[in-house]
Amino acid sequence: MLSKKSKAIGFILLSAFGFAAMNALVRLAGDLPFTQKAFFRNCVAMIFAGFVLKRNGVGFRWEKGNLPLLTLRAVCGTLGIFCNFYAVDHLLLADANILNKMSPFFAILFSLALLRERANLVQYGAVLAAFGGALLIIKPGFSSAVFPALVGLAGGMAAGAAYTAVRALSGRGEKSARIVFFFSAFSTLATLPFLIFDYHPMTLWQTACLLGAGLAATLGQFGVTLAYAHAPAKEISVFDYTQVLFAALLGFMLFGQIPDLLSAIGYVVICGVSVLMFFYNRMLESQTEAREKG
C-alpha cells in the first residue's frame, strides 16, 4: 500500500500537469479579459466539485469553525488566479509558471503565522535564494515590462497563502471536494459581475479552450488539495516544480517561446533550491527517526 507521502507526490505531479495545461489553454484562448477567462475556469471546477460532493453524499455544509479559513483560501486563491492569468497573457508561459511556483516558499512563511510551523535558518535561507531566482526572471527596472512579472510574483504569494489555508483546513477535517467547491463557487461569483458588464464575444475555439482550461484546472485543483492534505508543503513542494518543465515544453511546442538566459538561470536557481530543500528535509526526518529509535 502506498504511503501518504507517495500519494501526495502522485497528486502533486497530476496537479503540476493540470495547471501547466490550464495556463497553455488560457493563452490559446487569445485576447479576452483575464476575468472572463477566470470565470470559465472556476465555473467548470465548481460544477465538477459539486458533482463529487453530491455523489459522495458529503453535503455542502462546511465543518464547524472552518468558515474563516475557507474564506481566506477563497479570497487568496481568487487573487492568485487573477494575477496568474494576467501574467500568462503578458509573459512567456514558463516565466509566468515559475513565478506562480514561488507559492511553496511563501507557504513556508505563511505556515509560521497560520499553523505555527516554524522553519529554521536553512529553510529561510532557501526562501531568500528563491527570491533571488525570481529577481533574475523579473529583471527589476523602470520599464513597464516589469509590471506583469511583479503581478505574477504577487500571484505566487497569494497562492502560497491559499495553500497554507488548505493545509490548515485538512488538519481540521474539512473534505477536499468541499474546499475546492467553496473556492470555485466564491471565485465564480467574484468574476460574474465582470462577465456581465464587460463580456467579450467568443469564438467556438475560444470557448473550447476555456472549457478545457476549466477541466485542466479541476485536475490541478483536486491534485494540489489532496497533495497538501497528505503531506506538508515543505515535504512535497519540490515535485510541484515539474509544472515549469511542462510549461516550458508546452510554451515551445504551442507558441515557439524560448526563455532568455537570465530567466533560465532563475529557473535553475528556484528549482535547484527546491531540490536541495527536499533532501534537507529528508535528512532532518531521518535524524528525528533515529533519535526516536535511540
Q: Is the pLDDT of residue 40 over 80?
A: yes
The pLDDT of residue 200 is 92
For the chain, percent of residues with pLDDT exceeding 70: 93
Residue 80's pLDDT band (cuts 50, 70, 90)? very high
Q: Taking the domains of the chain in order of start, what are their residue ranges?
A: 4-293
Are the C-beta atoms of 270 and 241 separated by less than 8 Å? yes
Dump pLDDT digits (tens) for 161-211: 898 888 888 888 888 888 889 999 999 999 999 999 989 999 999 999 999
CA–CA gap between residue 87 and residue 204 (Å, rounded): 24
Exposed, middle or buried by CB within 10 Å (0-12, 13-18, 19+), for 239? buried
Note the pTM of the prediction, 2 decimals.
0.79
Dump pLDDT digits (tens) for 234-258: 667 667 778 888 888 888 888 888 8
Dump pLDDT digits (tens) for 105-161: 787 778 776 767 676 788 778 878 887 888 888 777 655 668 888 899 899 999 888
Are the C-beta atoms of 100 and 217 separated by less than 8 Å? no
The pLDDT of residue 294 is 62
For 95-108, the DSSP string reads HHHHHHTTHHHHHH
Residue with cell 501526495: 8
